[in-house]
Amino acid sequence: MRFELQSGMTRLSPPAPGRKGPLLELYTTEEARKTFSNAPYASVLARNLGAGQLLYCKAEMLDGCIIGTLVVPDKAAPLSGRFCLAYCLERERILLIDEDGTCKELLERLLDSELLDCRDVPHFFFSLLEALIQDDMAFLQNFEKRLATMEESVAGTLPKELKTSVMTVRKELLAFHSYYQQLMDMCEILSDNENGFFPEDFASHFHRLCGRIDRLYDHTQILREYALQIREMHQTQVDIRQNETMRLLTVVSTVFFPLSLLTGWYGMNFQNMPELRNPYAYFILIGLCALIVALEIWYFKKKGWL
């Protein structure tokens, strides 16, 4: 699938011989291996398309072209979904290569964006990277709202699912934390422009983009620390509840300890126990037990243990 980049993206089917603008070409992994098997950069492209190679964002500056990969976490399911593609930038052509329709989804997202710039390959690729992070600050603010809700739950009902929810949020934030770090490294490589692929004044564009990504990176780090604090608050609440339970059990055991002593004492099989022959001994013993319990409860309340 081919598109001409000029004032916009125009699909070429079949490719027009008299085209005026640069091209955007979409390929599957197998198609790219066959089509570019004799290209000067074939070995580098094949390495990036190998099994298990689409793992992170990167860029390799070659003579006359740039080859790399993009791995973008899916905002709907950061832990299980991601967009993976390889790219190759030439002077008058940009190649996007994937296996599962990632390129089409990214292009649809880019077409809906106001950042689309089709004047040439460098501007189109830059607008593609900008579109990837366009709404990410608002997305991270949703994480902040989720964490604030969890914090309120810690102080309130203390749900059993809270610990699992906090761990899930931290893992999702870690995925975006790593993603922004990789994008920053890639933008720094692109801004260095070692092979002279981009115009001289284009480095400032990537420096600016790198600054935006850096702020997103810092924000994810702050949110991860916030999630860790909520987890610690949850553990503190659990410890407080356990301490209260242990204190209550200790008080109950202490209250019944003298009664256990009395029942054990009068449970002994001795013949000459004077209380056994007293007709009021049973009621006296009941009163004594009640008095002991009342005195202990009064003492514990005075000390603040109840």
| pLDDT, tens digit, 9 for 90 and up, residues 150-193 | 887 776 655 567 777 888 888 999 999 999 999 999 999 998 88
- Under CATH, which architecture does the 242-303 domain have? Up-down Bundle (1.20)
CA of residue 97 relative to chain centroid, distance: 27
- Under CATH, which architecture does the 1-132 domain have? 2-Layer Sandwich (3.30)
C-alpha pair distances (Å), 169 with each of 56, 187, 295: 21, 27, 51
pTM listed for this prediction: 0.75
Q: How far apart are CA 46 and CA 210, in angstroms?
A: 28
- Sheet strands (E) in 21-92: 23-28, 58-62, 65-73, 82-89
**pLDDT on residue 221:** 94
Tokens of 27: 């390929």
To the nearest 10°, report the CA torsion of 56, 62, 65, 71: 0
The reply to whether 242-303 shares the fold of 1-132 is no
**pLDDT on residue 180:** 93
- Judge whether 124 and 118 are in contact, CB under 8 Å: yes
Q: How far apart are CA 301 and CA 217, in angstroms?
A: 53
Compute the mean pLDDT over every residue in the chain, rounded to the nearest whole number: 83
- Domain ranges, ordered by start, for the chain: 1-132, 242-303
- Find the length of the chain: 306
**CB-based contacts of 99, cutoff 8 Å, min separation 6:** 28, 29, 84
Output Rg (C-alpha) for the chain, integer angstroms.
35
For 303, counting Cβ atoms within 10 Å of its Cβ (0-12 exposed, 13-18 middle, 19+ buried), the class is exposed
CA of residue 30 relative to chain centroid, distance: 32
The helix/strand/coil state of 87 is strand
pLDDT < 50 positions in the chain: none
Beta bridge partners of 83: 72
CA of residue 76 relative to chain centroid, distance: 12
**pLDDT on residue 155:** 62
**pLDDT on residue 20:** 62
Phi then psi dihedrals of residue 76, to 5 deg: -75, -30
**CB-based contacts of 104, cutoff 8 Å, min separation 6:** 26
- Judge whether 199 and 122 are in contact, CB under 8 Å: yes
- Judge whether 110 and 5 are in contact, CB under 8 Å: no
